[in-house]
Amino acid sequence: MRRHILVTLAAFVVFTASTALAQQPSVPDRSLDSAHSYLGFDRNDYPGDAALSELRKHFAFTGYWITNPPGETHNSWAGKRDILQRTGFGFLVIANGRLDAELTRAAKQGKTPAAFGRQDAADAITAAQREGFPPGAILFLDQEEGGRMLPDTADYLLAWTETIAHSAYLPGVYASGQPSDDVPGPNGKTLFITTIQDIREHVAAGHLHPIAFWVAQDACPPAPGCVISSVQSDPLPPTASGIPDAAAWQFAQSPRRKSITQACARTYASDGNCDTPSPTHLFVDLNSAASPDPSHGR
């Protein structure tokens, strides 16, 4: 995915142990191993049918766009769920969200952010049904911008998640888990907030439905960088992101953000991307999860 979440790196939260769900076919059955975690990838462009068997040697699940990815005019993932499932992949199902500037323009034209959110959620539900994702699957909204949300963004996001919560699907959000400058504290020191913390506060204040979180946190540490192993090997669990109950953790992005990845720069390719091993050599973002199918999309 294209990821440009605008945040400032600060302190991180101590992590707790992760849990695992059922294993998928074609890899050893570790469904009873509560400490196991799984490696996945995501990218805007579908990697191609021919690459799937090779990618499956390393990855248990993949991100799956049900709308046009950021900056794209079409969705190359459409219609690919069946072949991915037959190859053994689980899913992180994701729908593109709106940027602050777009919501501001829409508000000036008389369309409220909440109305925009409800319409986008309805479109995501239709797309998920069309792609064959079962009831109970988690649909993640792609929230690109980090830090404390602007009011329009919060209205949009929560209208989206509440609409999903009232459907056959469950709401999730991809959002920043990196601490960002917030407001001055009691002693003049700057306080910090993550977008996920801000969303949680809104959910609690409004007594809204729970949201699953796919955490974007590629700063090294806690992220290890572009580390790709075999599908039998454990990546760091999503709780290592600093979000104790994270459903998934995106810990490497393509291209890497130089300002926060100096400590793991050598794990990336010379062009700054995170490349899959030969023979595929595709640039990807890397994710870990406590389930081989974090969206329950199989």
pTM of the model: 0.87
User: pLDDT tens, 235-286?
Assistant: 999 999 999 899 999 999 999 999 999 999 999 999 999 999 999 999 999 9
Cβ(211)–Cβ(143) below 8 Å: no
User: pLDDT tens, 191-228?
Assistant: 789 999 999 999 999 999 999 999 999 999 999 999 99
Please say if the pLDDT value at position 24 is more than 60. Answer: no
- Which DSSP string corresponds to 187-238? TSPEEEE-HHHHHHHHHHHHTPPP-EEEEE---TTT---S----TTSPPPPG
Q: Where are the beta strands (DSSP E) in the chain?
A: 38-42, 61-65, 90-96, 138-142, 170-176, 180-184, 190-193, 212-216, 248-252, 285-289
The residue that leads in pLDDT, 120 or 106, is 120
Give the SS3 label for residue 254: coil
Q: Residues with Cβ < 8 Å from 39, sequence gap 6 or more?
A: 58, 59, 60, 228, 229, 231, 233, 235, 286, 287, 288
DSSP 133: P
How far apart are the two ends of the chain, measured CA to CA in Å?
21
- If pLDDT is split at 50, 70 and 90, which confidence band does 83 have? very high
What is the predicted pLDDT for the residue at 8? 35
What is the predicted pLDDT for the residue at 30? 37
Give the SS3 label for residue 43: coil
Q: What residues does 212 pair with on adjacent strands?
A: 172
Q: What residues does 18 pair with on adjacent strands?
A: none
